[in-house]
Structure 1
């Protein structure tokens, strides 16, 4: 089959797409980069020279490109609804970065629109494809832990600290913009947790705005913080295990990511120096039976899904594995990658967490 043509909206040469999507597509022969778009003519000109494909400063030109089968939307979440809607209206497949929309209502509309258009969709919840996550899932399935009793996860959002260098990053601190420690870092980590251990049956939460002000270091000005930068979630998983998740904004001087899973017969621990686990280089350790402590576990090479080792160790690694899974879906007629319907379910979880925190009551999830 000829490769699926990809067009990336938001493909500046210094953004997320440049370090994740472009190398992931290059490492996945079932896809080929055909066009990119940016927000300005000058940046489009640089992108064209860098990537060697047509570059536009109007997203409509990229969507209309006859060689583009899959439109990737890699921009601020406040722009998602307009761009994704335009691509769906054109009948193109769409890969949206997470979150899908700015809030549950937008996500619902986009999921409904995608279902009506009957096109393939993908949402960028790639953390589930980390080799360490998938190996841990298989170990648990094969009885390494016995019966799972509970799990704890603690992480750092890395951004949402007390300061930023670029005034353009101040949008992170406004809850109305939809890019928060809950919607971004926490949900990127919760999706793999649920993939491994099952969904929440019930959830309680506490969302706290810890820092009231943030500083823009280039000029010393302050901006108000309205995003809850301290996220505490507890719940019971479908298999009966207890779960506790805590994410904080900024960086910790201690552990920036630690996920422990405890069972009747053993324990698994995933750690990383970077709190955003969807791009972190994870380490997996385990112990069981008479072991007095956990020790590093080597992940079999098969879990790389054929992604070259140098790509696998980078921010593009799990993105490339998501593309590989999508390629298999398209070839086999299966639907395994997280799509807009899945994203809608995750937005509903966010809504349940926010309601649980606002009311102080436990939310029972269907």
Structure 2
């Protein structure tokens, strides 16, 4: 098949930029894709990225509308801040392009729903960056659960810490996490990714209750040099998030989830995920707060009948994936699923994203 021609918004020459780490590494070598256009805040910035990454023949754009109207572009990739997604993606949808938008899809559920409906009306193929759905650790959990080795599943639990907001301060780069209007924060980004990953592996929720706490109502900003600002900013996003619910299984299983900000327990993993069955229990630990980036530090099965604990091997697919930056491995798998797979099965489209947004918005209704 001919490569899918990509126009990318937000490809920076900064080595720490998300698109640089997560999108470019896979796209530059994939047989399924070719980057043909770049759009940044100015023509100079777009051309600088083209030159830096040696994207021979790629066209520089300085507006979303210009990129959307480029006849050589099949797929537009939006790798910008959450509060820009709606405005940035809309011209592409009106032009009938396929669109990949990072998670969260919009700044809120209302925006996400409007974007999804516009995409459907214009026949656009869509994909959202819920990359945990293709993570080897998550897929291994699904394989173990589906195999019946754990027996009848009775409960699933997840506890994690984001390991941010120490010293009651927000990092300078993510100052906007304090502002709900932006749409990107600990609840939407971390919480959304983790809940979607878990339910992909063990079954979706059929009922649930949420509770969120904003206990750090004012915060300082930690500058790049480690110093703290004198000024404090108001925060209206949660730093404690809990959910309990019932999973769509036969019989239904219980689910509990707790994610918090603040320091990680010294020497301990960032998160622990357990799946309890009548025959065995599966336990995973992760370095970070969630399973969507990087592979599990450990995955073990405790067999109750044998009284044994066994390590589970996670197949990461070889060097073609592990040679990519951690941020780019599962994003790359998403791209491959989009090129070769089926929406709703192999990757999440925007209809699915709307359902996740609606769940996440429910946390705000219970915030204390």
Query: What do you get for the CA RMSD once the two structures are aligned?
Result: 2.3
Indicate the residue corresponding to 1:32 in structure 2: 34
Q: Equivalents in 2 of 1:150, 1:288: separation in Å? A: 16
Task: Note closer, same or farther for the CA distance 1:249–1:46 as it changes in structure 2 (3 Å cut).
Answer: farther
C-alpha separation in 1, matches of 2:222 and 2:337: 41
- Contact 1:160/1:172 (<8 A) preserved: no
Matches within 5 A, 1:82-101: 82-101=87-106
Residues 192-245 of structure 1: CA distance to partner in whole angstroms, max 9, x if unpaired? 111111111211121001212222233613212211111011111112111110
Deviation at 1:104, TM superposition (A): 1.3
Structure 1 residue ranges without an equivalent (≥5): 361-366
- Using the alignment, how far apart are the partners of 1:236 and 1:150 within structure 2? 9
Q: Secondary structure at the match of 2:313?
A: coil
Aligned pairs, how many?
Answer: 352
Pair 1:173-2:154 in alignment: no
| Mapping for residues 73-112 of structure 1, pairs under 5 Å | 73-112=78-117
In the alignment, is residue 130 of structure 1 matched against residue 145 of structure 2? no
Distance 2:362 2:314 in 1: 35
Task: Please report how far the alpha carbon of residue 293 of structure 1 lies from its aligned counterpart in structure 2 after TM superposition.
Answer: 5.6
Work out whether 1:163 is the aligned partner of 2:188.
no
Pair 163,320 (structure 1): closer, same or farther in 2 beyond 3 Å: same
Q: TM-score, normalised by structure 1?
A: 0.89
**In the alignment, which residue of structure 2 is the partner of 1:20?**
22
Offset of residue 39 of structure 1: 2.0
TM-score (norm 2): 0.89
Are 1:69 and 1:93, in contact at CA under 8 Å, matched by a contact in 2? yes
Q: Which runs of 4+ in 1 moved over 6 A?
A: none
Q: Is the Cα contact below 8 Å between 2:279 and 2:305 reproduced in 1?
A: no
In structure 2, how many angstroms separate the alpha carbons of the residues matched to 1:192 and 1:244?
A: 14
For 1:155, what is the secondary structure of its paired residue? strand
Structure 2: 5+ residue stretches without partners: none
Q: Aligned partners of 1:281 and 1:45: how far apart in 2?
A: 35
Deviations 1:23-73 (A, max 9, x none): 121343111111222224453343122122333332223223332110011
Q: 1:263 to 1:334 in 2, by over 3 A?
A: closer
Distance in 1 separating the partners of 2:103 and 2:289: 16
Partners of 1:20 and 1:173 lie apart in 2 by: 24
For residues 40 and 165 of structure 1, what CA distance do their matches in structure 2 show? 27
